[in-house]
Amino acid sequence: MMFLNRTSESILCRSFPNFLDGAALLRFSSLPAGSVTNFDEFVELFINHFAASKIYVHNSDYISTIKQGQYESLKDYMTRFANIAMKIPNLSPDVHLHVLKSSLRPEKFQETIAVTKFKTLTEFRDKEARQIEIKELRQARMAERQTPRRDEDKHRRPNQT
């Protein structure tokens, strides 16, 4: 409003600190008296000082660079992908679904989704959740089978000597 009303530079400089808080107010307070000669210089000092702390927001193009790692589990990948996707403003569900399907490493689940032809992200997420549950169940069963064998081996060794 002050710019639109063509307020003088001295008023701009004097009123500017009223709109600051936190690090910006501390930065302003640390400037030596008389070190700024005009409002444009004042603005440039602040922009240069705080430019490095600007929050970078990825756009929908960035999501296509996210790929499942060679040894990354489906669950870990889906968690990582979801965390990134949530930070992308206005991400189209169609783009989200397409990138999810194309970014998985080749394995049985990717073949399943290629055949199924999911139409919505919800359908995909449901199938992905079931796939993760199946994989975790298989891993738990395999761990159960291996644990008794190890215990049996420990009990057999002392008797054999």
Most confident of 6-10, 29-33, 142-146: 142-146
* Segment 42-53 mean pLDDT: 76
Assess whether pLDDT exceeds 60 at residue 2: no
d(CA 42, CA 133) in angstroms, rounded, equals: 58
Helical packing angle, 93-102 and 108-116, nearest 10°: 140
Assess whether pLDDT exceeds 70 at residue 152: no
Non-local (6+) Cβ contacts of 142 within 8 A are none
Q: What is the pLDDT of residues 81-127, one digit of tens each?
A: 999 998 888 888 888 888 888 888 887 777 777 777 778 888 888 88
**Contact status, residue 51 vs residue 21, Cβ threshold 8 Å:** no
Give the distance from CA 51 to its chain's centroid. 21
Non-local (6+) Cβ contacts of 42 within 8 A are 13, 16, 36
Q: Which residue has the tokens 């000082």?
A: 49
Non-local (6+) Cβ contacts of 138 within 8 A are none
